[in-house]
């Protein structure tokens, strides 16, 4: 329980930063420099209004200075990352749990940027891949060779599928960041779990398409779905079931 609580606190803090990054980065705004400010009035946000989840609840989701509504993606990301951290640290205290939490947090950032902008930043994807290889070298499962093969197979396999689709249909079927993300996920899960992850991502995508159809949205061959988000949603639960052993 102590490890889970620690992971939850670290996750909430990480989620606060990642939500800010996901909202500011696509707009070309600085993430690392400058103090946090209200997006509506620009006033500097004080320390007591920066406590993850709690400040949002106390202020009822509004800026203390101008009363503008705070983007709900802030508390949503904080809560999601807190759950990821608590789960990873609680089930696998130590190196494996730290790696699993980091894996989940980076996936959460990529999932949000892809959902909002169909964008998978190369710097985040590269960080995901490199940290996956690094944790394998430090001894976290799976074995390093499985991670290296997963990295290569994930990227090359999906890139080949994307190329084949473009040659056959004359248009893009995958974004350029999707093969890179699958390669990075392979660096965490290893090659053997990539087929299961892709099947789960496809099932999640079918469920999302069905929900859109039920809501009256026309769903067809031209409908865009954020495949990076779908892969992120599938990859972390598979890591939990495969490697998070208490």
Whether 117 is in a domain gets the answer no
Same domain, 68 and 147: no
Same domain, 136 and 239: yes
106: which residues sit within 8 A by CB, 6+ positions away?
Answer: 124, 127, 128, 131
pLDDT band for position 34 (cuts 50, 70, 90): low
pLDDT band for position 64 (cuts 50, 70, 90): confident
Whether 213 is in a domain gets the answer yes
Whether 112 is in a domain gets the answer no
Same domain, 148 and 229: yes
pLDDT band for position 193 (cuts 50, 70, 90): very high
- pTM for the predicted model, two decimal places: 0.93
Last residue of some domain: 42, 70, 91? 91
Which residue did the predictor score with more confidence, 43 or 138? Answer: 138
CA distance 182 to 155: 6
Residue from 74, 128, 78 nearest 86 by CA? 78
Which residue did the predictor score with more confidence, 239 or 57? Answer: 239
Same domain, 42 and 144: no
**Across residues 97-108, what is the average pLDDT?**
98
Whether 241 is in a domain gets the answer yes
Same domain, 78 and 138: no
Percentage of residues of the chain with pLDDT beyond 90: 68
Whether 139 is in a domain gets the answer yes
Whether 59 is in a domain gets the answer yes
Sign of the alpha-carbon torsion through 45, 4, 93, 150? negative
Same domain, 157 and 240: yes
Task: Inform me whether the pLDDT recorded for 126 exceeds 90.
Answer: yes
**Across residues 162-176, what is the average pLDDT?**
87
Domain boundaries, position 161: 123-246
Provide the terminal-to-terminal Cα distance of the chain, rounded to the nearest Å. 12
Same domain, 142 and 221: yes
Same domain, 140 and 181: yes
Q: Poorest-confidence range of 57-61, 83-87, 90-94, 158-162?
A: 57-61
Same domain, 161 and 221: yes
Whether 53 is in a domain gets the answer yes
Same domain, 61 and 157: no
Determine the pLDDT at residue 26. 84
Task: Report whether 19 contacts 73 (CB < 8 A).
Answer: yes
Query: ∠ CA(105), CA(109), CA(111), 5° rounding?
Result: 110
Orientation angle between helical segments 144-169 and 177-189, nearest 10 degrees: 160
Task: Inform me whether the pLDDT recorded for 35 exceeds 70.
Answer: no
**Across residues 55-69, what is the average pLDDT?**
83
Task: Report whether 236 contacts 183 (CB < 8 A).
Answer: no
Determine the pLDDT at residue 227. 95
Whether 106 is in a domain gets the answer no
CA distance 56 to 49: 8
CA distance 214 to 209: 9
Domain count, the chain: 2
Last residue of some domain: 43, 70, 91? 91
Same domain, 127 and 238: yes
Last residue of some domain: 38, 73, 91? 91
Same domain, 140 and 242: yes
Task: Inform me whether the pLDDT recorded for 27 exceeds 80.
Answer: no
**Across residues 236-245, what is the average pLDDT?**
93
CA distance 108 to 232: 7
SS3 34: coil
**Across residues 191-195, what is the average pLDDT?**
97
Determine the pLDDT at residue 183. 98
Task: Inform me whether the pLDDT recorded for 92 exceeds 60.
Answer: yes
């Amino acid at each position: 329980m102590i490890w889970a609580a620690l992971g939850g606190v670290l996750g909430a803090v990480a989620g606060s930063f990642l939500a800010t990054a996901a909202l500011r980065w696509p707009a070309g705004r600085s993430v690392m420099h400058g103090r946090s400010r209200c997006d509506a009035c620009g006033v500097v946000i004080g320390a007591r209004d920066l406590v993850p989840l709690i400040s949002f609840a106390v202020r009822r989701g509004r800026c203390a200075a101008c009363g503008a509504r705070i983007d709900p993606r802030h508390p949503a990301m904080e809560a999601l990352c807190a759950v990821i951290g608590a789960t990873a640290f609680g089930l696998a205290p130590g190196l494996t749990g730290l790696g699993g939490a980091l894996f989940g947090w980076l996936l959460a950032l990529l999932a949000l940027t892809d959902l909002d902008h169909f964008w998978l930043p190369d710097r985040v994807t590269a960080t995901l891949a490199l940290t996956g290889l690094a944790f394998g070298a430090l001894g976290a499962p799976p074995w390093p060779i499985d991670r290296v093969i997963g990295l290569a197979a994930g990227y090359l396999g999906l890139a080949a599928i994307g190329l084949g689709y473009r040659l056959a249909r004359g248009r893009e079927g995958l974004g350029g960041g999707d093969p890179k993300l699958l390669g990075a996920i392979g660096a965490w899960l290893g090659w053997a779990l990539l087929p299961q992850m892709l099947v789960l991502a496809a099932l999640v995508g079918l469920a999302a398409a069905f929900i859109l159809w039920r809501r009256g949205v026309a769903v067809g061959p031209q409908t865009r779905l954020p495949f990076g988000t779908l892969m992120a949603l599938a990859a972390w639960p598979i890591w939990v079931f495969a490697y998070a052993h208490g």
